[in-house]
Amino acid sequence: MTILSEQQFAAEPGVTAPRVVLLTPSRGLGGGIERYLDTIEDHLRAGGANIRRFDLLDSSRSLTVRTQASYILRTLASIRRLGRVDSIVVGHVSLAPVACLAARLTRTRRVPVMFYGVDIWGGGRALRRLIARDPLLYPVTISSYSAGGLVSVGLAQILQPGIPQVWRDILLTEGSRQRPLSAVPTVLSVFRLGVWKAKGLPELVEAVTAARAIVGPVQLVIAGKGPAPGALHELVAPYEYIELHESPDDAALAQLYATADMFALCTRTRTAPPFSGEGYGIVLMEAQLAGCAVVGPASGGSRDAYLEGVTGRTPLDESPTALAEVLCDMLADRVCLARMGRRAAEWAQGATDPANYTRLVMATLTGAVPRATSGPAIPSQRGRRAGQTTGHLRLPSRRQPTARAHPPTT
């Protein structure tokens, strides 16, 4: 059992706990949306909500017309038997029609619909019109950038991704360890290895190669959930200064974050098929929790995930030249870079405070803001980070200035 928060929450006196239905596209299949919704579910429970969750897909069900039809009928029948429901949280815009029907069956007054990125500037115009015209439905998204893209749908509320308590503690603990400064600076990038092109790895490799010609030796470390495609192996094979870590466990990934000099996420924004873009970039926050300064994508919603010029930097555009310029500026003064990393850890720790996130989740999705009470910590269902399992660690002390080292080769 993991611990979500050291604060316990309660509804205001005389107010019953919110009854919430959570419609999700999947459970147990991994991916950013699933992790986001899992964390939201944990914080809804921490805030005192009573939750019924309905998953479209799991490990035993694939996406077919029959599966979708069965989900609609089964979900509506179950929701109808629930009686009063205060909020129906729609975990993906594709489930909005189900929520419309369910809201009428239960006289629900709040139906927040989650948007993430590609679903905003991709297809789905009919679904967006449905949300814009239905008075019960309102958009919720993960960044101010995404909220701007939803202006034709409505005034979107912002609910940025949260980080599970246990994974947050691991990152803070690893980042607080004292290490000698490594001889060669390291640039780290973390993403699902299957989408390496959309995450801008070719441009990052070119930029690091250019930076090496100016500032001297630099190591590039790539990590993420694998397996890595053959084309990715072919890309990095000629470069002796590139390390590839496939599906590192929590401890290994936390060490990679904490021992890197800087973290770079270089997602490409594409508004035509194949669509791609970065709605937020939770890995940027993970890196900062471990005390690592960051470089975010030139476009997208990632600027909400760090402080420009304080905890990270942003290239002028998506070109390798612009990225290389930022890398050179930051790597030229490693003392200043380490100072930026310490500021990043301090800021990220405050920005991801679990109790504050519980209040935000409850206010955004149910309209009820729980009050904190004294008492035992609240148990959580999960303690997961991006696609992996976690252990548990105590909260760390503040990161020390010398906490830098080169990650081990595996």
- Please indicate, yes or no, whether residues 141 and 119 belong to a single structural domain of this protein: yes
Q: Which residue has 């995404």 as its token pair?
A: 146
Contact 130, 97 (CB under 8 A): yes
- Please indicate, yes or no, whether residues 180 and 319 belong to a single structural domain of this protein: yes
pLDDT for residue 372: 65
pLDDT for residue 327: 99
Backbone angles phi, psi at 137, to 5 degrees: -90, 140
Average pLDDT over every residue of 52-70:
94
DSSP letter at 16? P
Nearest to 111 by CA among 95, 124, 100: 100
- Please indicate, yes or no, whether residues 169 and 104 belong to a single structural domain of this protein: no
Whole-number mean pLDDT of the chain?
88
Final residue before a domain boundary, out of 296, 321, 348: 348
Stronger pLDDT, 379 or 54, i.e. the higher one: 54
- Please indicate, yes or no, whether residues 223 and 319 belong to a single structural domain of this protein: yes
pLDDT for residue 373: 53
Element (H, E) at 342: helix 334-351
Position 183 in a domain: yes
pLDDT for residue 6: 39
Average pLDDT over every residue of 344-349:
98
- What's the length of the chain? 410
Q: Which residue has 């897909």 as its token pair?
A: 57
Position 88 in a domain: yes
- Please indicate, yes or no, whether residues 208 and 153 belong to a single structural domain of this protein: no
Query: What CATH number should be reported for the domain holding residue 51?
Result: 3.40.50.2000
Stronger pLDDT, 270 or 343, i.e. the higher one: 343
For 98-153, the DSSP string reads HHHHHHHHHT-SBEEEE--SHHHHSS-HHHHHHHHH-TTEEEEESSHHHHHHTTTT
Position 381 in a domain: no
pLDDT in tens, 164-202: 999 999 999 999 998 888 999 999 999 999 999 999 999
pLDDT for residue 56: 96
- Please indicate, yes or no, whether residues 270 and 325 belong to a single structural domain of this protein: yes
- Please indicate, yes or no, whether residues 59 and 179 belong to a single structural domain of this protein: no
Position 367 in a domain: no
Final residue before a domain boundary, out of 316, 348, 380: 348
Query: Lowest mean pLDDT: which of 67-76, 243-252, 391-400?
Result: 391-400
Radius of gyration of the chain (CA): 22
Position 101 in a domain: yes
Identify the band that residue 29 occupies on the pLDDT scale cut at 50, 70 and 90: confident
Q: Where are the alpha helices (DSSP H) in 183-331?
A: 201-215, 230-236, 250-259, 282-289, 320-331
- Please indicate, yes or no, whether residues 206 and 316 belong to a single structural domain of this protein: yes
- Please indicate, yes or no, whether residues 113 and 177 belong to a single structural domain of this protein: no
Give the count of domains, the chain.
2
pLDDT for residue 379: 38
For residue 57, pLDDT over 50 is answered with yes
For residue 315, pLDDT over 90 is answered with yes
Query: Lowest mean pLDDT: which of 57-61, 246-250, 338-342?
Result: 57-61
pLDDT in tens, 109-137: 999 999 998 788 766 889 999 999 999 99
**Helix, strand, coil fractions of the chain, as percent rounded to 5:** 40, 20, 40
Distance between CA atoms of residues 40 and 170, nearest Å: 20
For residue 74, pLDDT over 80 is answered with yes
Query: pLDDT above 70 covers what percent of the chain?
Result: 86
Which residues, in sequence order, are CB contacts of 162 under 8 Å at separation 6+?
36, 39, 40, 43, 352, 354, 357, 361
- Please indicate, yes or no, whether residues 53 and 178 belong to a single structural domain of this protein: no
pLDDT for residue 31: 82
Position 385 in a domain: no
Distance between CA atoms of residues 275 and 121, nearest Å: 8
pLDDT for residue 14: 56
- Please indicate, yes or no, whether residues 231 and 275 belong to a single structural domain of this protein: yes
For 206-223, the DSSP string reads HHHHHHHHHH---EEEEE
Final residue before a domain boundary, out of 348, 371, 399: 348
For residue 204, pLDDT over 90 is answered with yes
Position 194 in a domain: yes
The parent domain of residue 211 ranges over 165-348
pLDDT for residue 1: 29
**What are the tokens at 171?**
């990152």
Q: Which residue has 């030229």 as its token pair?
A: 332
Angle at alpha carbon of residue 77, lines to 75 and 79, rounded to 5°: 65
Position 105 in a domain: yes
Q: Which residue has 């914080």 as its token pair?
A: 43
Distance between CA atoms of residues 172 and 290, nearest Å: 5
The model's pTM: 0.83
Average pLDDT over every residue of 25-37:
90
pLDDT for residue 120: 85
Angle at alpha carbon of residue 45, lines to 251 and 172, rounded to 5°: 25
Contact 165, 38 (CB under 8 A): no
Nearest to 67 by CA among 76, 53, 83, 56: 56
**What are the tokens at 284?**
């940027």
pLDDT in tens, 215-224: 999 999 999 9
Distance between CA atoms of residues 371 and 10, nearest Å: 6
Query: pLDDT above 90 covers what percent of the chain?
Result: 78
- Please indicate, yes or no, whether residues 124 and 187 belong to a single structural domain of this protein: no
